[in-house]
Structure 1
Amino acid sequence: MTSGANVLDAVVVGAGWAGLGVSYSLARRGLRHSVLERGRIGETWLTQRWDSFRMNTPNVQTVMPGDRYEGSDPSGALTRNQFVALLEDFAKRNGLPVEPETVVTELASGHEKGEYRLTTSRGTFLARNVVIASGHLNCPVRPVWAASLTPRLCQIDASDYRNAAGLADGAVLVVGSGQSGCQIAEDLAEAGRTVFLSTGRVGRLVRRYRGRDIMIWLVESGFLDVRREEIIQLAKRIPPRGVLGAQQTISLQALSAKGIVLLGRLTGVEDGGRLSFADDLEAHVRFADEASANVKRHIDEYISRSGIDAPAAEPDPAETVQASLPDPTIGSLDIAGAGITTVVWCTGFRGDFSWMRLPGVLDPAGQPLHEDGVASRPGIYFAGLDFASTRKSGTILAVAEEAHRLVEHMVERS
């Protein structure tokens, strides 16, 4: 906590991997700072991930700045709790100035020019620079018709799902076939639940390809270095990340083979008890397969261009399972008749930046305005945002590079 005469060089809001990475770079530069965390280190990982959650990067890549993997399972995947333990150890080893249980309620301009004031549950902090690393995936988004569903139906978001045992008996409808939706649907099916999955237009990746974890190839080939502007130019938007199973390939075909009933996109609710779905399931399966093929083609070209001696391509696991897609596709579903008692909404998130009282740093929807994490307002930065600069942004793979770049910008500005 500071006084007006004791202004910090920087304050970092959030002690997840992004915030701790920035803190590490600030410390190496000798800049006085504090990391304000609303709960514990890795709070979001502890409270918004399901019990069986695992990281999608292999252990060899799940490392913080200045560290390298020295374990015996480089291809393994950390559990939720193991990842939080990694963050806690990183902060402790490096003596990072984390202030836990410190909720920031307001960020505003200070009394002095170029100074910022952070009002928190533990007093006021003053700083010349502020790095927002609180995450932008902490407010669930549901379609407007969610409120039209019968009140007898339990509705939860992906961030509130823990395990099948925590839900009421009966079938479960999972809405959204992105990363969370597919993994939660699989978790429920493996627990013996009847599961319906409403799908969307989302790509997928195989877990291993040509003798390596796919993430190793994506980093080495430069696939993750594609700029945000190029992605938007090609796709006309920022698309959801391709589905990647933590330990094995996840595909819609594989989920179907596990007994999950696949549906098209949820389009509406009739009289609170009947759901309607678009006739686009086959298109979604095809899009996911094409996305996977495109990534593999990129890797093949990189291997050929670089003269790498790599094994031949393995069969895509999606092609070796006995899928059972509904025929004809299901266009309407009676909630009670299907025995559905719970809906898990996996329909996306947005950030909560309502506590930022600074003009010009948020767009009309209340989301960050920035270029490569640097806001137009001097001294305001965003760290850990998905696709902030490249495909790599928003993953732990980008933490060292992003933290260093933001802190160097801060130093040069000073």
Structure 2
Amino acid sequence: MPKTAAETTEVVIIGGGQAGIAMSEHLNERGVDHIVLEKDRVAEAWRSRRWDSLVANGPAWHDRFPTQEFSDTDPDGFATKGEVADYFQTLVDRKHLPVRTGVTVTSVTENPGARGYKVTTDAGEIAADFVVAATGPFQIPRIPDIIPAEAELNQLHSNSYKNPEQLDAGGVLVVGAGSSGVQIAAEIQKSGRPVHLAVGPHDRPPRSYRGRDFCWWLGVLGLWDLATPPAGAEHVTIAVSGAQGGHTVDFRDLAASGITLLGRANSYADGRLIIGDDLQTNIARGDDNYLTLLRDADDYIERNGLDLPPEPEAHILGPDPESVREPIRELDLAGAGITTVIWATGFGVDYSWLGVDGVLDERGYPVQKRGVSPVPGMYFLGLPWLSRRGSSFIWGVWHDAKYLADQIGIQRMYRDYAPVHADDFAEAVS
């Protein structure tokens, strides 16, 4: 006979970040017995896996759950990483959500010959009818295999960067021009170090336009609800910043501050970094993304008769800096004084603990539709584009969790169904 689990519950949620907390809140409202398992602390990624000065990229009125506001943050301001972590802990405490911290899940397997799953942890086993994998998309730091480890450089991923003081003396190369890369590069440059920034394909929305934050514009224009990314833009990063009160990222400004812009880092040989001939194209594509949103916003204002102040100067872009007009194609890192490389190149997922056949593809990514896997009772939450563009954002994951809670409710109904014979029914209603 199979070993009996020490504990049973209806739903196990794996992960105590924004996705796991959102899922727990919805199940709690429905009275569904569940447990959230978190190997560290609630919202640990916000606490310890980001740089010191990080703030949310969306304003506090937008980057939150509908059921709780930020208590000490201006609604139009940008919460610090500590305020975001405290926000989720407050919600857990206020709603008495069943979160267990310091518990590591080592495996999830199907119960052989029985319904549901066995969740094995370093604190024992739990049997559950349903499992929600809410560990999110930021599990394994991705560093491209470009510069060998034996090169005389300090190489670290952006999740290990805290502040300029931790870095070796000398210049810094930041690879990646999404929100993390541009904010880290700007912070290091302001500390007095020379900085090179490798810029790949990106979207570059305005921080605000005509008195409204870009989060508002994406909402009223229906762009948060795009079901799939545009062709060729599946992995394009977004260059936007909430730092210093929020501002539009413009690579011309970064160049004017003293940062040297580069194209994409392609390869490395004999101490020299080989740079792609794509910097001008990447800058132009980001500009087009920026200007398109401005035009769409203007059209929306006119159609709806809104009284929002014109901002014609926002449409005017300055000339390309010299590093864009005459791009560097090969960089001698030692000659440029570079001693540190920070890879702001994103993350991969880690489902090595998930031993359920048919729920992961050959790359190790979930097979799912709106978070519902092809294996009954197995769900995923918190991934980019799970159901829409906004799925990996704080507010978006809350709505995705609501959908999964509904799906679990439907399956509970089928699970609990028992046929009633005609005689029993007649007796019950008589």
Q: TM-score, normalised by structure 2?
A: 0.90
Partner residue, 2:313: 315
Question: Greater Rg, structure 1 or structure 2?
Answer: 2
Contact kept in structure 1, 2:63 and 2:393, CA below 8 Å? no
Partner residue, 1:45: 46
- 1:242 pairs, out of 223, 238, 244, with 238
Greater shift, 85-94 or 303-312, is seen at 303-312
- 2:411 pairs, out of 398, 410, 413, with 413
Q: Once the two structures are superposed, what CA deviation does each residue of 1:254-301 show, in whole Å capped at 9, x if it has no partner?
A: 211111000111111112x11111222111111110011122222223
- 2:272 pairs, out of 266, 271, 274, with 274
Superposed displacement of residue 70, structure 1 = 6.5
For these two proteins, the number of residue pairs brought into alignment is: 407
| 2:209 alignment partner AA | Y
Q: Once the two structures are superposed, what CA deviation does each residue of 1:315-343 show, in whole Å capped at 9, x if it has no partner?
A: 33983699453552111111111111111
Partner residue, 2:303: 305
Verify: 1:156 aligned to 2:148, yes or no: no
Q: TM-score, normalised by structure 1?
A: 0.93
| Structure 2 alignment gaps of length 5 or more | 413-430
Greater shift, 322-331 or 372-381, is seen at 322-331
Q: Once the two structures are superposed, what CA deviation does each residue of 1:41-74 show, in whole Å capped at 9, x if it has no partner?
A: 0111122210111101101112224224566722
Contact kept in structure 1, 2:294 and 2:315, CA below 8 Å? no
Q: Please, what is the CA RMSD of the aligned residues?
A: 2.0
Matches within 5 A, 1:164-203: 164-203=164-203
Partner residue, 1:400: 398
Superposed displacement of residue 193, structure 1 = 1.3
Partner residue, 2:215: 215
| 2:97 alignment partner AA | L
Verify: 1:293 aligned to 2:294, yes or no: no
1:235 partner SS: coil
Greater shift, 289-298 or 16-25, is seen at 289-298
Q: Once the two structures are superposed, what CA deviation does each residue of 1:386-413 show, in whole Å capped at 9, x if it has no partner?
A: 1111111110121331111100100101
Matches within 5 A, 1:13-412: 13-68=14-69, 73-111=74-112, 113-147=114-148, 150-228=150-228, 231=229, 234-246=230-242, 247-271=246-270, 273-313=271-311, 315-316=313-314, 319=317, 323-325=321-323, 327-412=325-410
Distance 1:318 1:89, change over 3 A: farther
| 1:117 alignment partner AA | K
Distance 1:84 1:111, change over 3 A: same
Superposed displacement of residue 3, structure 1 = 6.0
Distance 1:240 1:89, change over 3 A: same
Superposed displacement of residue 112, structure 1 = 5.2
Distance 1:218 1:169, change over 3 A: same
Distance 1:326 1:287, change over 3 A: closer
| 2:152 alignment partner AA | R
| Counterparts of 1:151 and 1:96, CA distance in 2 | 48
